[in-house]
């Protein structure tokens, strides 16, 4: 991260901010899309986070911390957009067959569907911790700093979320087990 750009943007340089925003936008969208599981909500969250970043930049005391600080604004925007989420009955999906075929331990479409369903059942608080830690590879102390929670709470949320996702993955096995027992 070029701190000179951050300093220029802090002083109202729109061109400098344009460069920062261009660099940050795709990363923001990737994180928001994974947390919110909805393209439109993720797009809105990304835009809100970028505008919040512009607005609040003069209050950033350490330009070297721009990245972590801006992720905090993104997570807040995701919380706000997540409030708009509603349970939705009609079903339209991106077909798994169009996804890249990778030997990644995701043994089947079933795993993806189960993970998707399990992840959607998590609160935005829990999703944010999972995505920041397992997608961005951030250590939990930095995750806690970004989300604004104690490190112990970050550990607890991650543990709860992973237990829920494991249960979601294993739930698919249960009908087979019942069938075998009959």
Partner 1 sequence: MSTERDVTRIVRSWLRTDEYDFPVEIVDDVLARLDATPQDRLIWPARRFADMNTYTKLAIAAAAVVVVAFAAFNLVPRTGVGGPGVATPPPTLAPTPSPTAAAFPPAGALTIGRHSMVLEGLTVSFNVSTSGWISNGSFGVDRSPDIGPEGASFIFWTDTPVGVFIDPCAAVRGPSVGVSTAALADAVASVPGTDLVSGPSDVTVGGHPAKLVVISIPDDIGCDPQRFNLWYAPTPGFARYATALGSTYRVWIIDVNGTPVWMDGETFKGAGPEPARQLQKIVDSIQFE
Furthest-apart CA pair in the chain: how many Å? 72
Question: For 49-56, which contacts have Cβ atoms below 8 Å and span 24 or more sequence positions?
Answer: 49/73, 49/74, 49/76, 49/77, 50/21, 50/24, 50/25, 52/76, 52/77, 53/20, 53/21, 53/24, 54/9, 54/17, 54/21
CA distance 26 to 30: 6
Q: Binding residue for partner 1 (CB under 8 A) from 80, 113, 124, 156?
A: 113
Select the span of 62-70, 71-79, 109-117, 146-154 touching partner 1 (CB under 8 A).
109-117
CA distance 172 to 113: 10
Rounding to the nearest 10 degrees, give the CA dihedral for residues 118, 146, 59, 16.
Answer: -70
67 contacts partner 1 (rule: CB under 8 A): no
Query: Both tokens of residue 140?
Result: 């939990």
Q: Considering only residues 16-55, where is the footprint of partner 1 by CB under 8 A? A: 17-18, 21-22, 25-26, 29-30, 33-34, 39-40, 42-43, 46-47, 50-51, 54-55
The nearer residue to partner 1, 1 or 106, going by C-beta atoms, is 106
The 134-153 contact track toward partner 1, x by CB under 8 A, reads xx------------------
120 contacts partner 1 (rule: CB under 8 A): no
Binding site for partner 1 (CB under 8 A): 12, 14, 17-18, 21-22, 25-26, 29-30, 33-34, 39-40, 42-43, 46-47, 50-51, 54-59, 84, 86-100, 102, 104-106, 109-113, 115, 130-131, 134-135, 162, 165-166, 169-170
């Amino acid at each position: 991260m070029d701190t000179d750009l951050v300093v220029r943007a802090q002083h109202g340089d729109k061109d400098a901010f344009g460069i920062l925003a261009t660099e940050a936008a795709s990363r923001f969208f990737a994180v928001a899309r994974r947390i919110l599981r909805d393209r439109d909500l993720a797009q809105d969250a990304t835009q809100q986070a970028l505008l919040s970043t512009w607005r609040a930049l003069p209050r950033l005391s350490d330009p070297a911390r721009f990245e972590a600080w801006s992720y905090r604004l993104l997570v807040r925007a995701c919380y706000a957009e997540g409030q708009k989420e509603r349970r939705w009955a009609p079903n339209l999906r991106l077909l798994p067959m169009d996804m890249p075929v990778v030997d990644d331990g995701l043994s089947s479409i079933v795993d993806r569907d189960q993970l998707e369903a399990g992840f959607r059942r998590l609160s935005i608080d829990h999703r944010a911790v999972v995505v920041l830690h397992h997608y961005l590879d951030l250590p939990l102390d930095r995750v806690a700093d970004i989300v604004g929670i104690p490190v112990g709470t970050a550990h607890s949320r991650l543990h709860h979320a992973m237990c829920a996702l494991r249960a979601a993955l294993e739930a698919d096995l249960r009908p087979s087990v019942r069938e075998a027992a009959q």
